[in-house]
Amino acid sequence: MKIVFGSDEKNHLTDFVISELKKKDHELVLHGPIAGEEIGWTDVAMIVAERVASGESDQGIVCCWTGTGVSIAANKVPGIRAALCADAETASGARKWNNANILAMSLRTTSNALAGEILEAWFDSVPEDSEEENINKVNEIEKKYSK
Residue 104: CB atoms within 10 Å: 28
Q: How far apart are CA 16 and CA 3, in angstroms?
A: 15
CA 117 to chain centre: 15
64 is catalytic: yes
Q: How far apart are CA 28 and CA 19, in angstroms?
A: 10
Q: E strands, the chain, where?
A: 2-7, 27-31, 59-64, 82-84, 102-106
Q: Which of 52, 64, 84, 91 is catalytic?
A: 64
Bridge-based pairing of strands 27-31 and 2-7 is parallel
The catalytic residue positions are 64
